[in-house]
Every structure is written in C-alpha cells, then in structure tokens.
Amino acid sequence: MEYRSLSRLIYLAAGLFVALWFIHEVLQVILLFFFAIVFTIVLNAPVTWLERKNVRRTIGSLIVFFSVLLVLALLVWMVVPKIITQVELLVNNLPNYLDNLNHRISKWLGEYGTNQKQSQTVNNAITLPPISAIINSVGQYSIQLFKNVLLTIFFFCLVIYMLINPRPLLEIYLSFFPAAKKDKAAKAFSYASVMTIGWMWSNIVAGAIRAIVVWFFLYFMEIPGVWVWAGVTFLAELIPRIGFYIMAVPPILIAFSISPLTALWVAIFYIVLDEIIGDFIIPRIRSRTMRIHPVFILIMIVAMSAAFGVMGAFIATPFTAFIKAYYETFYKRELKEERHDENIERMLYRK
C-alpha cells in the first residue's frame, strides 16, 4: 500500500515537472496568444459594426484585417525609410556623441575637484563594443530575427482565424464554466472587451499626440534622429510609466552630448509632456472604459516585466483589465454605498 502511494507521488511529481517544463518552453507562445486575443477583440469592434450594416462576418473581417495591414504598410513605407536613414546617421555619429559625452563628464568631474585618474576612468567607461563582438552577435541577431518573423506570421494567422470565426472558440471558453456561471462568464468577457478596446484606442490617440509634439520640439531643438524618437514615443505609449523612460532617456543623452543646457530643456519638455498627457488627456479618454487605478496598473507592469520581459510589460494593462472584469463579475460583493464610504473615511482619516 505504501509502495503504491509512493509510486503515485513520484508519478505526480514527474507529471508536474513535465507540465511546468512545457509551460516554460511555450511561454512566449502563450503570451503571444493572449496578445492575439487582445488584438482580435480590438478588431472585432469594427467587424461587428459592419455586421450591423448587413455585411457578412467573413467579408467584414477580411476588410478590417487587410485595412489595418494596409495602414501599417503605409506607415512603414512613409516612416521607416526616414527612420533607417536617421538611425544610420546616429550610428555613424555615435563615436562623436560618446566622445562629447565623455569630455563633458570628465570636465564636470574636474570642475568639482575630481582628480585626473577618476576623470580618465569615466572617460574610458563609455566606449563602443569591439568590432569582433559586434560581428559575433550578427549571427545570433539573424536567427532571432528569423524567429520573430515566424512568430509575427503565426500571430497574424491567429488573429485572422479568430476574427473570421470566433463562435467555436467562445463556445469552448463557456464550456469551462458550469451552467450557473455561464452568464457571469459572458458578462466578464464582454466587460473586459470594452476595457481592452478603450485601452487600445486611448493608446493610439495619446501616442499620436505625443509623437507629433515630440517631433516638432526635437526638430526645433535640432536633436538628431527626430523620426526615430517620434516613432519610439508612439510605441512607448503602449507601456505605461516604463514607456516614459524608454522614450525620454535616449534623446536626453543625445542632447547632453550636444549641450547640458539643451539636455535640460529636453528633460523638462518630456516631464511636462508626460504630466499633461498622463494627468489630463489619458484619464479623460480611459475614464469611461477602464476605470483602473494607476497603482494597480503600475504593480502589474512591474510584475509582468520582471516575469516576462518586454512582452509582459506590453500586455500588462489589458491583462489587468481582464483581472478587474472577472473579479468584479465573480467575486466582488455588493456593499451598501453609505457603509462603504464610511469605512473608507475611517481608514483614510484614522477615525
């Protein structure tokens, strides 16, 4: 009897180990699948609108899907050549930028009484990697690029299949819930869809506004690579809070290599822009859809980034929307508003 119990325990541990290993190996695919669901939910909004206009879902899905691809292709055709040109200029001028930055840091340290040895240490700290290391990494980047291309194709195939015929997938989703919970499951998914669509459109609007303002300001300040930084700004909007550092730090460093005063103005500009967009425009856009406290979003971004890297930070906000929708639908208890407010006042003011 004890032998059988021990055997079952060993088999259970082995099965659990294999399951965890398999999940770890396909984790990137799982994250990509979740983002494909999010993207499909966003595209489903115009598809259902076309369905109400008596357009068949298959035709409407193809119209929406290829319209999005066409818009992306036009953006790539108009923007990417300029971005590539400016990236080449940045790469060619990078040694000069680093030399200027090293010189200013060394001069700054010397002005504050730091000896020449410390200045020389800092001067040697910021250097380009050796050519051999760059050449050795080309093969790795090529393989990674090929994998990313395959994952991109896989992603768009998932989206188009789910968009054209979502009903079987929704039936599978509802089959995981008992009959008494199916209505709540449908309500939670619908609520999460509304928040997800609001998240995407608010990012597009806010990202476009930021990118345009950044382009004009950096062009006026004569910062190299304005198209690059505008494009980074637009994409960084999809990663709240952390995206600010992604879009602001590189141009500030480039500006510092030109002039400390220029870097100061660029830093002030990014801070003011982030406050205006983050505190006034974004809350107004999202207030009717997501209604998620920034603290919860920030915690999820940090946690998902630590666990899954850039992809985790990218999907953290829609994932938070799903958690909020299912929590409020399944577990949140109805409380009397008066008593609820009274408890909040007691906690806030220590009564």
Greater model confidence, 314 or 133:
314
Residue 20 has pLDDT above 80, yes or no: no
* Tokens describing residue 284: 């107004």
Residue 105 has pLDDT above 50, yes or no: yes
What pTM did the predictor assign?
Answer: 0.68
What is the pLDDT, as a whole number, of residue 255?
Answer: 79
If pLDDT is split at 50, 70 and 90, which confidence band does 127 have?
low
Half-sphere exposure of 164 (CA within 13 A, CB side): 11
Residue 333 dihedral angles phi and psi, to the nearest 5°: -85, 145
If pLDDT is split at 50, 70 and 90, which confidence band does 335 have?
very low
What is the pLDDT, as a whole number, of residue 59?
Answer: 92
Greater model confidence, 204 or 131:
204
Residue 123 has pLDDT above 50, yes or no: no
- Quickly tell me which residue has 């983002």 as its tokens: 35
Residue 21 dihedral angles phi and psi, to the nearest 5°: -60, -45
Average of pLDDT values for 186-212?
A: 86
Average of pLDDT values for 34-49?
A: 90
* Tokens describing residue 340: 């609820």
- Cβ atoms of 274 and 229 within 8 Å: the answer is no
Domain boundaries, the chain: 1-55+129-176, 178-351
Residue 82 has pLDDT above 50, yes or no: yes
- If you average pLDDT over each of 96-110, 129-143, 314-328, which comes out highest? 314-328
Q: How far apart are CA 351 and CA 344, in angstroms?
A: 10
Greater model confidence, 231 or 123:
231
Residue 112 has pLDDT above 60, yes or no: no
Average of pLDDT values for 184-202?
A: 87
The per-residue pLDDT for range 224-275, each reduced to its tens digit, is: 778 778 878 887 776 666 677 778 888 887 777 777 788 888 889 988 888 7
Is the Cα torsion angle 274, 36, 72, 149 positive or negative in sign?
positive
What is the pLDDT, as a whole number, of residue 122?
Answer: 46
What is the pLDDT, as a whole number, of residue 227?
Answer: 79
Q: How far apart are CA 166 and CA 131, in angstroms?
A: 50
What is the pLDDT, as a whole number, of residue 341?
Answer: 64
- Whole-number Cα distances in Å, 155 to 28, 67, 147, 175: 11, 17, 12, 25
Average of pLDDT values for 268-283?
A: 79
